[in-house]
Each structure stands twice: as C-alpha cells, then as structure tokens.
Structure 1
Amino acid sequence: MLDILIYLFENFYEQNESEFLVDRDNLLDELIQAGFAEAEIHKAITWIENLVELRSGGVQTHLLVSSVGSMRIYTDTEQLFINTECRGFLLFLEHINVLNIETREMAIDRLVELENTNLDLEDIKWVILMVLFNVPNGEQAYLQMEELVHEKTLNYLH
C-alpha cells in the first residue's frame, strides 16, 4: 500500500498544491493500469481520506501535553509497526522542530494504519512528508522534511 501512497503523492498531491482532489473512479482505473491491486488501492484511498480527516479534526490536542524532558511512550501496537530506528527518527524530527506533538501523533497514527511491520527509515520519511503536506501552515516543516526525504544519507543522533 505504501507504494500506492507514494505514487499518488508524487503524481496527484503536488499537482493540486494543498489538497487531494481527484475523481475516485478515474483514479482507480489509472492505478489499476499502473499495475496496483484493486484491494490495495481502496486501502490507500481510505488511508488518505483518514489523513484528511485528521487534518480537519486534528488530533485531540487538549490530551497532548509535553514538558521539558518528557518522552513519548509507544504502545505495544505502535512498537510492532514502528521499529526502534524509526522511533528514534521521529524523536530527532521533534528535536529539530520538523514535528510538533500534533504532527508526531498524526504520523504515528498514519504509520500504524499501514499495518506494515517492515517499515524502514525511507518509508517513514515518505509518510511524514505526506502528513506535513496536509498540515495547514506547515510549509516550513514540509520543506525541511522534503530535504530529508531526498537526502541520500542522514546523520542524526537519537
């Protein structure tokens, strides 16, 4: 499903600047012609719709409280889908202010919904890029993340 999401992001998101506006039937036909399985296409479209819903409704920010020195504890389910390296990368992105509490939670939500236990650092970068693209007034964070996505090697501490 991640391949479909990246394909959609590269071919449709950026064309529409800030929204994902495409006729679902035409999109389905195009993705099938591109060689993607119909069931995976439907999952990917639902994933995008849920991302847009998160953007509209936002994460329950009143529940998100952070203080200096606090640390996000991941649930067993989150740890199943987001490995140690990827969790370290999320923390790194928070430290360099690419992610804030809300966008971190949106990214975690989107990563878990992929239900893929084999996500690597490149995969997580793309998901975070998609999340940041959908955050109002998140242009600076998006640009920083875009640089990280297209950078071949990344030296970060975690």
Structure 2
Amino acid sequence: MFDVLVYLYENYWRPDACPDHEQLTRKLSSAGFESDEIQEALSWLDGLATVAECYTGEQQQSSIRVYTAAEQDLLGEESISFISFLESAGVLPPPLREMVVDRASAIGVAPIPLDDIKIIVLMVFWSLGKEPDTLVLDELFVAPEDRLIH
C-alpha cells in the first residue's frame, strides 16, 4: 500500500489532481500495482480525506498529546519520538498530528515502521495541499546515514 501512496505523491501534486477512483485504479494497475494493494491505498486515502475534514477546521494549535497504551504499542517508541520531533520543530501542529495518529491506526500493523510513519506524515501534508518545508522533506526522505554534515 505504501508504494501506491508514494507513487501518488510523486505523480499528483495534490489529491484533487488525481482522477476519479475508477480511472486511477486503471492507471495504478497499468503502472504495475496489484489490485488489492490499490484498493487498500484508495480506501486509506478516503479515510484520510474524511479525517482532514474533521481536523482542518480545528483552531486549537497547542496541546499536549498523551498516548494511550494501545497507541504506544501501535506506533512504537521510534515513531512517537519522530512525531514529537516534528511537533517540537513547529512543522506538525496538533490537528495534523492527530491526522497522522488516526491514519496510522488505520494501518493495522504494530509497531508501525518509522519509514511508514514518514509516508503517513507526507500524505497528511499532501491531502491538505500543503508542501512541507525543505527541512521536513529532508527528514522524511533522506536516511540519517546519507546526510551530509557541514
């Protein structure tokens, strides 16, 4: 599923630039993705659109997040630390953080690998038509061992 999401991010600059589900399914199928993987990704994106409607209207821009034991098990320490890092850097406000946690919960894998959380964060920004700043993109795409230290 994550390969489909990355493909969509790379090929469609915003969700409204994507064709309807039927045409998109055909395009993804012709790009080599399996039918079940496509349906899973499209269903996940539908959920993201629904969650985006709920959280984008929220005005609360500061809050403290206490993760439940189930969320801690689901996300894992590494992913929670990464989400907290993005929050403390001021690039992931509470409403977007909640979208990330919601969409991570929809995956059904525990703990979610950090690389998958990074894709979820990217897709949350994408779903809102926002492009993360360069430093966030670097954090999402460049492996720590590949970074140049100046």
Tell me whether the two structures share a fold, i.e. TM-score over 0.5. yes
* Per-residue deviation, 1:133: 2.3
Instruction: Provide the C-alpha distance between the structure 2 equivalents of 1:84 and 1:18, rounded to a whole number of angstroms.
Output: 30
Q: Which amino acid in the other structure matches residue 137 of structure 2?
A: E
Contact 2:62 2:93 in 1 (8 A): no
Which residue number in structure 2 is paired with residue 146 of structure 1?
Answer: 137
User: Alignment identity in percent?
Assistant: 30
TM-score normalised to the size of structure 1? 0.76
Q: 1:60 to 1:114 in 2, by over 3 A?
A: farther
Which residue number in structure 1 is paired with residue 40 of structure 2?
Answer: 43
Of residues 92-101 and 110-119 in structure 1, the stretch that sits farther from structure 2 once superposed is 110-119
Q: Which amino acid in the other structure matches residue 26 of structure 1?
A: Q
With a CA cutoff of 8 Å and minimum separation of 6, indicate the structure with the bigger relative contact order. 2
Which residue number in structure 2 is paired with residue 8 of structure 1?
Answer: 8
Contact 2:87 2:93 in 1 (8 A): yes
Structure 1: gaps (5+ residues): none
User: For residues 18-97 of structure 1, what are the structure 2 equivalents within 5 Å?
Assistant: 19-58=16-55, 61=58, 66=63, 70=64, 72-97=65-90
Aligned residue pairs total 145
* Per-residue deviation, 1:122: 2.0
Instruction: Provide the C-alpha distance between the structure 2 equivalents of 1:54 and 1:5, rounded to a whole number of angstroms.
Output: 17
* Per-residue deviation, 1:46: 1.4
Instruction: Provide the C-alpha distance between the structure 2 equivalents of 1:119 and 1:2, rounded to a whole number of angstroms.
Output: 12
Q: 1:95 to 1:65 in 2, by over 3 A?
A: closer
RMSD after superposition: 2.7
Which residue number in structure 2 is paired with residue 114 of structure 1?
Answer: 107
TM-score normalised to the size of structure 2? 0.79
Aligned to 1:123, the other structure's residue is in SS state helix
Of residues 145-154 and 55-64 in structure 1, the stretch that sits farther from structure 2 once superposed is 55-64
Structure 2: gaps (5+ residues): none
* Per-residue deviation, 1:118: 5.1
Q: 1:18 to 1:8 in 2, by over 3 A?
A: closer
